[in-house]
A and B are shown apart, each in its own frame.
With several copies, the nearest count.
Chain A
Amino acid sequence: MTYIGKPKNHHPALERNKIGLTRRDYEGTISTLCAGCGHDSISAAIVDACFQLNISAHKVAKLSGIGCSSKSPSYFLNQAHGFNSVHGRMPSVATGANLANKNLIYMGVSGDGDTASIGIGQFMHAVRRQVNMVYIVENNGTYGLTKGQFSATNDLNSKNKYGDENLFEPIDLAKMAIQLGAGFVARSFSGDKDQLIPILKAAIEFNGFALVDIISPCVAFNNHAGSTKSYDYVREHNESVSLLDFVPSKKEITTKYKSGQRTNVKLHSGAYISLKKIDKKFNPTNKNMVLDKIYKAEDQGNILTGLLYINEKVREHCNIMNVTDTPLNSMGSKELLPSRQNLKAVNASFR
């Protein structure tokens, strides 16, 4: 059911990217997740996205909380440092890490339990601070690792494996993030590689907080009839808001596409997001319109996917905080120590 199995140690296609690496160089250790788990497809998509973007893996920091989803960072980018922190608290760790070195790419991977329950506060405040990171939620509507309890993203009346109905309304992280002012909010599906990879690429290039809420079915506990997070249900109710292409530079756009049916959004990095809209009137930079569109899809029982909202003008956290360009972690006593004179003045002020 996953479009690709567990990352393999030997990959058939030894194609090399611009920095001379093969896809294999972006892989991680062998997954210990269930065969068919959506999370493994997401890991594979991350590998693809990083490979295609010619990223130096060691310039990525992978962070996560606790859960099956939060184990995923082991399964991609072996050459990147990883931090599997504590349940629901990855956002704060990422925030601190980001301040220490603004020059790495921060990839946070979390689950719906990890983010929407115990971690919702940290999530919201990371959004509010515009921490420059990709925040991936591997959303299966359940607590996989603790064996299938309802999570807070589970839909009202959706059933668990034992037939019990969920009694509460879901928390929609994408809507939350939009309301809180995140600059990049996308929703996707682990089973839709074609949609997911370009979204991940755009999210990585985006300068600011980029939420990618990915429905990622749990084959062990939430993939049955009656669940709204099963492969079948999501395939049937997936409503794509637009088709996204990630274009590394402007030049490539003009050669490839006619304008008109497309909107191009220029990112801070110089790359472009090219959106082929399905609903012509839809404007992903208009908060109200986006929320309205999501509500309407919900009313029709659909899950709106794709790049939902983008605001490339947001400033990211280090910028807001006026943090210097040199990574703080590389500064030594020369940059950081006040002088003898300084201390003398301080002493004088306490006389």
Chain B
Amino acid sequence: MKKITSVNDFVIKFANVNGSGSASANQMFAKGIFRYGVPVSPKNIFPSNIQGLPTWFEVRVNDKGYLGRRAGIDIAVPMNPQSYNKDIAEVNAGGYVLYDSSWKRNFNRNDITIIELPITSLCIAEFTNPKQRQLFKNLVYVGALAYLLDIPKEIYIKLIKEQFIGKEKLIAPNVKAFNIGFSYAKKHFQGLCDIKVKKSNLTKNKILINGNEAAGLGCVFGGATVCAWYPITPSTSLAEGFTRYCNQFRVDQVTGKNNFAIVQAEDELAALGMAIGANWNGARAFTATSGPGISLMNEFIGLAYFAEVPVVIFDIQRGGPSTGMPTRTQQSDVLLCAYASHGDTKHPLLFPADPKECFEFAALAFNLADRLQTPLFILSDLDIGMNDWMVPELNWDNFDEFDRGKVLDAKALDKIDKFGRYQDVDNDGIPYRTYPGTHPKKGAFFTRGSSHDAFAAYTEDGVVNAENLSRIKKKIDLSPNYLPKALTKQDRNFSEIGILYFGSTEVAMQESLDLLAKDNKPCDAMRIRSFPFGEEVWNFIDAHKTIFIVEQNRDAQLKTLILAECKTNHKKLKSILCFDGSPITANFISLSIKQHLGNKTLKKVARK
């Protein structure tokens, strides 16, 4: 048997029972590697359940910065007998299994190295409290792994100390558990494992953060003061993150009062209604939800669209349709969000690719919504939202006043003759608005979802209403002027094949391109960051013979949006679709594209 030998390049997968405290230990394991300067990407694959069902935790370690999911496991840590079979089957030949050998087991694979760590026995021997015996199991294997992989134990001891700030009593037993594993490994496992972690400086100025946390903070920087939400996986932690940062940064030091209001609404309809009410009244407000919430919000979305009330809506996508797979990832709400609500509508969407962009887009979204006076969606997903990603440090430079878009205050109202809420004054389709209570005589108007004229008066004149609808269309058609532009991987196109993709697929793309290039199939790639699409997207499509559109859904929803704009030939568009709820892998992308291309060798030629 040839053992897998590698430095700073492997995938390790933990299999646990949920509710057993494993996630935090596994997270600590990953963070230790990160602290050691080596890029990691942890993925928590958890059930829609609180306690007792199988849960997995996958960590990819890769110093080339390939941090997308990679199929095939190099090291398995199966702690859940329920899923042993599946877990062991996934291990690559030459790989390693570290298991709790308190109950010995024959895994019937002689192409892998089985490492026997009697975790339960060690815990029983060292701890008396049954709860502790259970809980500390996780740290025992972390300790053993640290030894096996060559990660200095000090890193973990420091992490343990930090984790229990305020609960210092817990530090000692945790450290003890870690040491049990470490020492046992040192004694018994020497030379067993040829996979190693080597100190590096690749995580400098990087942080390990999940997208919901980052988005919550982004909302604070975006000037959001009102958040109305309803709990739903995987968006809950966004509202919770916002709450935490508000409590940290937004409580008035003198009065102890809150410069924010966060409402756990009775449902998603109410959540969006509150956010709309607050925005209408001049506060920056948002809601965060997932697919089922978007479905429920459809009516209110149409109201905000037609009455032109800005509002920011986060959709942390999960596996649909219906209740679907609440704890798995997908990009399958794209179409619904783009055209949400009955009647003719179209909504700007932002597609952040990682937690850093969640932070940035969250903050930006409030400017954009105010500017465009329309509901604006940020389509993140469970993978970005709930997993820790390694990204550059968050950065903020703009301490100017927020850009509230076209709002008239009392002074501005005094200057104008007659205020027309829905007039196209600047020929950009964007009208001026006023907040309630601004002026005793001027600027009041009636916001409504029923047909209205340029002065917000109710009208049943179909032509007047059609004019207003056309102005709104113009506003949305021009919105790419304000939205984040698509980005390319290459400075200059050089291939006849272009890849379009968006969102969390980003993390797998560089690796996909490298794999394709290695196979003589160099491709260009562009990441779409917003809808409606800007000119750069059409140019990219035009510049290539074939376009692969990579999506994490069944029905090629982004491709549908591209086709719907009626600007490109359908024949050149090919879909690469992954919708099994796991984050898409570079292997899947590159293999799918290779399959399409067959034996063809592509040349790198500079293109327009």
Which A residues contact B (CB, under 8 angstroms)? 32-35, 56-59, 61, 63, 66, 68, 73-74, 78-89, 91-101, 103-104, 117-118, 120-122, 125, 129, 143-147, 149-150, 152, 220, 318, 321-326, 328-333, 335-338, 340, 342-343, 346-347, 350-351
Cross-chain contact A34 with B19 (CB below 8 angstroms): yes
Is B135 in the interface zone, CB < 8 Å from A?
no
User: Beta-carbon contacts of B4-36 to A below 8 Å, as 1s and 0s?
Assistant: 000000000000000100000000000000110
- A33 and B50 CA atoms in complex are apart in Å by 7
Which residues from chain B contact A122 at a C-beta distance below 8 Å? 266, 269-270, 273
Partner of B267, one of A74, A103, A118, A149: A118
Q: Which interface class (under 10, 10 to 19, 20 to 34, 35 or more) fits B?
A: 35 or more
Additional 17 contacts, C-beta under 8 A, given A58-B438, A99-B274, A125-B270: A82-B448, A83-B447, A84-B447, A93-B277, A95-B273, A95-B274, A96-B263, A96-B276, A101-B437, A122-B273, A147-B236, A149-B231, A150-B264, A328-B283, A329-B225, A332-B223, A346-B394
A219 to chain B, nearest CB (A): 9
Cross-chain contact A324 with B258 (CB below 8 angstroms): yes
Partner of B230, one of A59, A73, A118, A120: A118
Partner of A342, one of B249, B273, B435: B249
Partner of A125, one of B49, B261, B266: B266
Cross-chain contact A351 with B266 (CB below 8 angstroms): no
User: Beta-carbon contacts of B396-422 to A below 8 Å, as 1s and 0s?
Assistant: 100111100000000000000000000
A66 to chain B, nearest CB (A): 6
Cross-chain contact B446 with A84 (CB below 8 angstroms): yes
Cross-chain contact A99 with B276 (CB below 8 angstroms): no
Which residues from chain B contact A33 at a C-beta distance below 8 Å? 50-52
- A35 and B401 CA atoms in complex are apart in Å by 51
Partner of A99, one of B261, B269, B444: B261
**Contacts A68-B50, A336-B250 known; A86 to B259 CB distance under 8 Å?**
no
Q: Summarize A's interface: helix, strand, loop or mixed.
A: mixed
Which residues from chain A contact B322 at a C-beta distance below 8 Å? 86
Most buried by B among A85, A98, A122, A342: A85
Most buried by B among A93, A98, A118, A347: A93
Cross-chain contact B259 with A89 (CB below 8 angstroms): no
Cross-chain contact B19 with A322 (CB below 8 angstroms): no
8 A Cβ contacts from B251-273 to A: 252, 255-273
Cross-chain contact A74 with B393 (CB below 8 angstroms): no
Most buried by A among B34, B279, B448: B448
- A283 and B436 CA atoms in complex are apart in Å by 38
Which residues from chain B contact A104 at a C-beta distance below 8 Å? 281, 436-437
Partner of A83, one of B207, B225, B228, B277: B277
Partner of A321, one of B208, B261, B434: B261
Cross-chain contact A96 with B274 (CB below 8 angstroms): yes
- A117 and B34 CA atoms in complex are apart in Å by 42
Which residues from chain A contact B281 at a C-beta distance below 8 Å? 61, 96-97, 100-101, 104, 329
Cross-chain contact B266 with A120 (CB below 8 angstroms): yes
B242 to chain A, nearest CB (A): 12
- A347 and B390 CA atoms in complex are apart in Å by 12
23 A-B residue pairings within 8 Å (CB atoms):
A32-B49, A32-B52, A33-B51, A58-B441, A68-B50, A81-B436, A81-B444, A84-B450, A86-B323, A89-B300, A96-B263, A96-B273, A96-B276, A97-B281, A100-B277, A100-B280, A100-B282, A122-B269, A147-B50, A220-B50, A329-B281, A337-B220, A351-B35
